[in-house]
Structure formats: C-alpha cells, structure tokens
Amino acid sequence: MSEDLKPEWSDPNEPDKFSKLIKRGQELEGQPVTIEKNTVFQKRKSMEPTIEELVHGVLTGNRGQLARAITLVESNAEQHFHKAQELLQKLLAHSGKAIRIGITGVPGAGKSTFIEAFGTYLCDLGLRVAVLAIDPSSSLSGGSILGDKTRMEQLSRNPRAFIRPSPTAGKLGGVHRKTRESMLICEAAGFDVILIETVGVGQSEVIIRDMVDFFMLLVLTGAGDELQGMKKGIMELADTVLVHKADGANKEKAEQTRKEYSRILHFLQPATKGWASKAYTCSSLTGEGIKEVWDVIKDFELKGKSSGVFAERRKGQQRDWIYSLITDQLHYSFFHHPEVKLKLPQLENEVMAGEKTAATAVDILFHTFLSGKK
Ligand SMILES: Nc1nc2c(ncn2[C@@H]2O[C@H](COP(=O)(O)OP(=O)(O)OP(=O)(O)O)[C@@H](O)[C@H]2O)c(=O)[nH]1
Ligand SMILES: [Mg+2]
C-alpha cells in the first residue's frame, strides 16, 4: 500500500486500535453508469396509506392501520382534515355497534387501574375492548396521559384490547372531537366495548357524558364531608357510582360510603330516563365487584334498548355534536383571524383602561371578523 492511503489521523499512543490503511475504491467493470440528460426522477411513493387502504385495514381489524387512521383523525394539519373526514364518512356505516362507557373520578380514584382490571375481565369474556382517554390538561400541557399505558400494562399486551392515550388539542375542534371520531373508528374495527377515561375536573365529564351510553363515577371512601362538598352536578350525570378500592382495611368503610351515595342518588334527578342510578363497591386489586359492574351495564343496555331510551340518547348526541363542532369552528376561526388577532390586544387594553366597554370591543372585533378577508 502506498503512503498516501494512510488515514488522515490515528492515535500514535494506541496504534493498534486504529486502522492504518484505507482501501482505494474499486473501479466498476464494464460500462460506466450514465444518466441521460433530461431524465425525470420519480419521487418515491409516499408512505402515507391511501383512504382505501385505511378503510380496508380498519374494517379487517388491522391494528397498524387502525392506529394510522386514528393518527390521521388526530392530526392538527389542515391538509389531513379532509382526508380524515373522507375516511370517517366511509366508516360511519360500520360504526355504532359497541357499548360506549365513560369513566370519571378525581385524580387517584383508580380509573386507569379499574380499566386495566375491568378491560381484562371483558377480554376474558371474549369481548374486544378499546380504551381512549380525554385528558383535559393536555390542551394546556400539550402532553397526554402517558403513564396510563404503563398502568394498563396487562391490558395493553392483550390482543383483544387496544389502548390509545389521549390526543392533544389543536385546531379544527378540540380533544373531544378527536376522541369521538377515534371511537367511531374503533367501532368500525369491530371493538365491542369502548372505555373512555377522563379526570373529573370540570368540563370534561360533561363532554364525555355527551358521547357515551353509560357513564360511571369512581369515588373513594372517607366520604362524609367530601360527599357534602361534591358537586351535585356530576352525580346527576352518573348512571352508576362506584366506591373504588373496597379492599383490605378499607372494605367496611367502602360499604358505609356506598350506602351514603345510594341515599343521595335516590333523591337526585336520574341521569338516564327510566334508570335508577345506584352505588356499588369494587376493588381492582382483588377483582371483587368487577363482574357486577358488567352485569349492571348489561342490564342498563337491555332496558335502554327495549324502552328506546338508548337509541334516543344516541340520536340526541349526534345532533348535539353538530352544535359543538360549530362552536369549535367558530371559536377557532375567530381567534385565528389575522385582523382580529391584530386588533384584540389593543382593544383589550382599552377595555381594561376603562376607555371602551367590553361590548363595544366585541362589536368591533365581530365587524372585523365578518367583513374582513381571511
Ligand atoms: N387498594 C387499592 N388501590 C388501588 C386500587 N385501584 C387503584 N389503586 C391505587 O390507586 C392509585 C391511583 O390509581 P390510578 O389508576 O393511577 O388512578 P387514576 O384515577 O387513573 O389517576 P389519574 O389518571 O392520575 O387521574 C395507584 O397507586 C393504584 O395502585 C384498588 O382497587 N385498591
Ligand atoms: Mg389514569
């Protein structure tokens, strides 16, 4: 080897650890490759699946395509919006067959652990279970309930289950739009039960109530004062109150708490016409009471379907959905209108300084919004 084929640098102290030689590149035998002038290079086919591929994938229960379809629906990119709607339109006729269950409760009530136990129980019955989450904080933090996948470790490995952490909010509708559309996709993929988890901190339980058939509230023992302070509103939304973590030393207390909740539920407006919401105890650690929860839901479904309340609620939810989308769209278009964005800070200052009334400022903004070009 000639001198000029030595590497540019090697450590003189450790000569054995570095290559001392470089091989010369080999000449190709035969005709050299030539590229014709004016050759048109074809762009590599995009890896994004077509709508048809997604529809087929979802309908045949292909998990990869299911995840991709949900990603498309969750996308905040405007060019994906129409594609997602086209996909949903094609899947719509195949959706609606699952029972939709909403689960709420304060942070730490054990919602994720309950879903792990309950979901696994349902899978063992031969059912297919999809878990979605609405995380109201994600619109602020941009994150999602990341820990949930690890809390639902057993369920996430179950071939009958599919777990999707909550989407992040963005344009063209908030988190709830995406969750609702993801639910339709999961139904088209053949899931029998959809479980939606949300932390009960305000608006999210109302949103979830509007998209599920059955809504349950997970509570903890030690009620008493807590019970008094609990918003009546959220209890009026619940088809069942579950006193959770009824195990070990907590079991007796849980029974007491259950009685108290039952008593209160008795006096409240029923969440579902013709259904008396009751309180139960259950433990996700021991599995006690898990089966009974499913029995209650089955009973609820049976009664609701025969009385027509079940179908009526779904129809109402479909109708309400239009209005919530309109609100979303208006909100988004208004606050993203370039001239509105430009004028808003100044008007805000003027209102704060007492120079203009809030109504005048809003009037100016709406004139700008309605007459100004996009
Ligand atoms: N003893 C007992 N502990 C439980 C039970 N279920 C959950 N826990 C514990 O309660 C804690 C909270 O459980 P999570 O399932 O994360 O609660 P969560 O309601 O999903 O909480 P966020 O998602 O943060 O709102 C964990 O430490 C669980 O181990 C139960 O049935 N019995
Ligand atoms: Mg959780």
Tens-digit pLDDT profile for residues 98-107? 999 999 988 8
Residue 46, amino acid:
S
Residue 43 has pLDDT above 80, yes or no: no
Backbone angles phi, psi at 339, to 5 degrees: -75, -35
Residue 132 has pLDDT above 70, yes or no: yes
Q: State how far the Cα of 326 lies from the Cα of 354, in Å rounded to an integer.
A: 33
The CB of 111 under 6 Å from ligand 1? The reply is: yes
The CB of 53 under 6 Å from ligand 1? The reply is: no
3-state class (DSSP) for residue 134:
strand
The CB of 108 under 6 Å from ligand 1? The reply is: yes
The CB of 245 under 6 Å from ligand 1? The reply is: yes
The CB of 281 under 6 Å from ligand 1? The reply is: no
The CB of 200 under 6 Å from ligand 1? The reply is: no
The CB of 110 under 6 Å from ligand 1? The reply is: yes
Of all protein residues, the one whose alpha carbon is nearest to atom 3 of ligand 1 is 245
- Return the minimum-mean-pLDDT range out of 128-132, 168-172, 238-242: 168-172
In sequence order, what are the residues at sequence separation of 6 or more whose Cβ sits closer than 8 angstroms to the Cβ of residue 323?
A: none
- Return the minimum-mean-pLDDT range out of 50-59, 124-133, 197-206, 231-240: 197-206
Distance of CA 306 to the CA centre of its chain: 30
Position 38 scores a pLDDT of 75
Of all protein residues, the one whose alpha carbon is nearest to atom 22 of ligand 1 is 107
Q: Which has more confidence, 108 or 140?
A: 108
Q: At what angle do helices 290-307 and 111-124 cross, to 10 degrees?
A: 80
Q: State how far the Cα of 220 lies from the Cα of 137, in Å rounded to an integer.
A: 22
Residue 291 has pLDDT above 90, yes or no: yes
Residue 144 has pLDDT above 70, yes or no: no
The CB of 288 under 6 Å from ligand 1? The reply is: no
Position 177 scores a pLDDT of 78
Position 143 scores a pLDDT of 40
Tokens 């800070």 correspond to what residue? 345
What value does the mean pLDDT take over residues 252-262?
Answer: 92
Q: What is the mean pLDDT of the chain?
A: 84
Position 80 scores a pLDDT of 86
Distance 113 CA to ligand 1 centre (A): 5
Query: Is 261 in contact with 241 (CB distance < 8 Å)?
Result: yes
Position 252 scores a pLDDT of 93
Position 130 scores a pLDDT of 96
Query: Residue 16 gets which letter from DSSP?
Result: G
Radius of gyration of the chain (CA): 29
Distance 55 CA to ligand 1 centre (A): 37
Residue 65 has pLDDT above 90, yes or no: yes
Nearest alpha carbon to residue 224 among 199, 243, 198, 247: 243
Instruction: Give the tens place of pLDDT for each residue, 153-193.
Output: 889 899 999 998 776 655 445 667 788 999 999 999 999 99
The CB of 68 under 6 Å from ligand 1? The reply is: no
What is the position in ligand 1's atom list of the atom closest to the CA of 148? 23
pTM of the model: 0.80
Query: Residue 40 gets which letter from DSSP?
Result: P
> Tokens in use for 287?
């599995």
CB burial of residue 79 (10 Å; 0-12, 13-18, 19+): exposed
What value does the mean pLDDT take over residues 28-32?
Answer: 60
Q: Which has more confidence, 45 or 213?
A: 213
Position 374 scores a pLDDT of 46
Distance 180 CA to ligand 1 centre (A): 25
Instruction: Give the tens place of pLDDT for each residue, 329-374.
Output: 888 889 989 999 999 999 999 999 999 999 999 999 999 999 865 4
Distance 91 CA to ligand 1 centre (A): 35
Instruction: Give the tens place of pLDDT for each residue, 208-224.
Output: 899 999 999 999 987 55
Domains of the chain (ranges, CATH numbers): 96-307 (3.40.50.300), 322-371 (no CATH)
Q: At what angle do helices 63-74 and 175-188 cross, to 10 degrees?
A: 160
Of all protein residues, the one whose alpha carbon is nearest to atom 7 of ligand 1 is 110
Instruction: Give the tens place of pLDDT for each residue, 6-20.
Output: 666 666 676 666 566
The CB of 283 under 6 Å from ligand 1? The reply is: yes
The CB of 264 under 6 Å from ligand 1? The reply is: no
Position 342 scores a pLDDT of 94
Give the number of other Cβ atoms within 10 Å of residue 348's Cβ.
13
Q: Above pLDDT 70, what percent of the chain?
A: 78
Instruction: Give the tens place of pLDDT for each residue, 76-88.
Output: 777 888 899 999 9
Query: Ligand 1 test: best mutation among 103, 113, 114, most atoms within 8 Å of CB?
Result: 113
Residue 234: band (very low, low, confident or very high) from pLDDT cuts 50, 70, 90: confident
Residue 139: band (very low, low, confident or very high) from pLDDT cuts 50, 70, 90: very low
Q: At what angle do helices 78-91 and 51-59 cross, to 10 degrees?
A: 40
Q: Which ligand is nearest to the CA of 110?
A: 1
Element (H, E) at 243: strand 240-243
Q: Where are the alpha helices (DSSP H) in the chain?
A: 51-59, 63-74, 78-91, 111-124, 138-141, 147-151, 153-157, 175-188, 204-209, 225-229, 232-237, 251-267, 290-307, 309-336, 338-352, 358-371
What value does the mean pLDDT take over residues 272-296?
Answer: 96
Distance 86 CA to ligand 2 centre (A): 32
What value does the mean pLDDT take over residues 227-231?
Answer: 59
